[in-house]
Amino acid sequence: MQKDLLKLLDLTPADITKILDTADQMKYNQKHSLTHHYLEGKTLAMIFEKNSTRTRVSFETGMYQLGGHALFLSGKESQIGRGEPIEDTARVLSRYCDGIMIRTYGQEEVETLAKYASIPVINGLTDFAHPCQVLADLMTIREHKSRLEGLKLCYIGDGNNMTNSLIVGGLKVGMEVSVACPEGYDPDPKVLEFAQNCGGKFTLCRDPKEAAAGADAMFTDVWASMGQEGEAQARRAVFEGVYQINSELMALTNPGCMVQHCLPAHRGEEITAEVFEAHANEIFDEAENRLHAQKAVMYLLMGEQ
Ligand code: CP
Ligand code: NVA
């Protein structure tokens, strides 16, 4: 494992498997009330420049369950919001804490933070990637299907941070990945370049029906991500009526196909209320698994094994 978790492109397939196996163990410990204070006395600084419910609560709770402590730093209320360079924030936090989790806009900000920090940095979402979410997603699919290799993962919608991380994560664990995005809303070119070198396991198309055929796990995400609020209306005009997981699309998938959503979900937009509720158990397992997957990441990066 590297010092940081910045994006799934940096991980080997073996790293991902190790995180997923450790996450299963973390979940077992938690469910059986087994003490697992692997990070006793350690502190995680959590920098949030965007909103969050799941990421904040799962990291803070996870750190507590590992015997450590997490502290919340709002971008606006800390000196970051007044322009203190990220290079200096990195070096200051490295003198107090044992790890940093950051949710922000540009991926380069997270990469710079990691370069200047002597402690592990974890990406809690950027415009480019959402690696912690996708580790939880892979954990959830493996839990429900008992395997990942050979299954087909399909994503319908905007080619955003979730799409980028799902493509890389899915392909690295040996899944087939199909994506349907409208023209002009494709995933990041670096991700497409990686995907196109994965031995024909990746397809990108415009038609959700084509992408969904034979899928084992269907994913979608909001049409306008955090930071794109001003584009919401224009995006709606492009996505509406086509880029939605609904029962007609589900009819084309494999029997027992799962539905996953990182949340928050907009019912009636990227997913119908009917499909969401029919798969609510899988979707909230996915939300729960953020806790276990991130505890695994923190233990592997910040603990002494
Ligand atoms: N899925 C996810 O990252 O949720 P939050 O924005 O609530 O953290
Ligand atoms: N693509 C979404 C994911 C939220 C968890 C966003 O960036 O807002």
Residue 225 Cβ inside 6 Å of ligand 2? The answer reads yes
Provide the domain limits for residue 113: 8-130+290-302
Q: Is the residue at 3 inside a domain? A: no
Residue 265 Cβ inside 6 Å of ligand 2? The answer reads no
Tell me the whole-structure pTM to 2 decimals: 0.98
Whole-angstrom Cα Rg for the chain? 19
Query: Nearest 10 degrees: CA dihedral of 194, 200, 205, 210?
Result: -140
Mean pLDDT of 86-103: 98
Given 97, 107, 130, 257, the catalytic residue? 130
SS percent in the chain: helix, strand, coil, step 5: 45, 15, 40
Write the residue with the smallest CA distance to atom 3 of ligand 1.
55
Strand order in the sheet with 69-74: 69-74, 43-48, 99-103, 121-123
Q: Is the residue at 2 inside a domain? A: no
| Best CA proximity match to 165, nearest among 269, 260, 61 | 260
**Domain of 226: which CATH number?**
3.40.50.1370
Mean pLDDT for all residues in the chain: 98
Q: Which residue has the tokens 């995907």?
A: 195
Residue 121 confidence (pLDDT) above 90:
yes
Q: Which amino acid is at 148?
A: L
The DSSP annotation for 115-127 comes to HH-SS-EEE---S
Q: Which atom of ligand 1 is nearest to the CA of 57?
A: 8
Do 60 and 34 touch, CB atoms closer than 8 A? Answer: no
Give the model's confidence band at 155: pLDDT under 50 very low, under 70 low, under 90 confident, else very high.
very high
The pLDDT value given to residue 1 = 87
Q: Is 103 a catalytic residue?
A: yes
Mean pLDDT of 99-118: 98
* pLDDT tens-place string over residues 248-289: 999 999 999 999 999 999 999 999 999 999 999 999 999 999
- Whether residue 92 is found in the same domain as residue 193: no
- Whether residue 17 is found in the same domain as residue 58: yes
CA distance readout (Å), 197 to 48, 159, 212: 34, 19, 22
Q: Which of 55, 59, 61 to mutate to test ligand 1, by most ligand atoms within 8 A of the CB atom?
A: 55
- Whether residue 115 is found in the same domain as residue 138: no
The pLDDT value given to residue 206 = 98
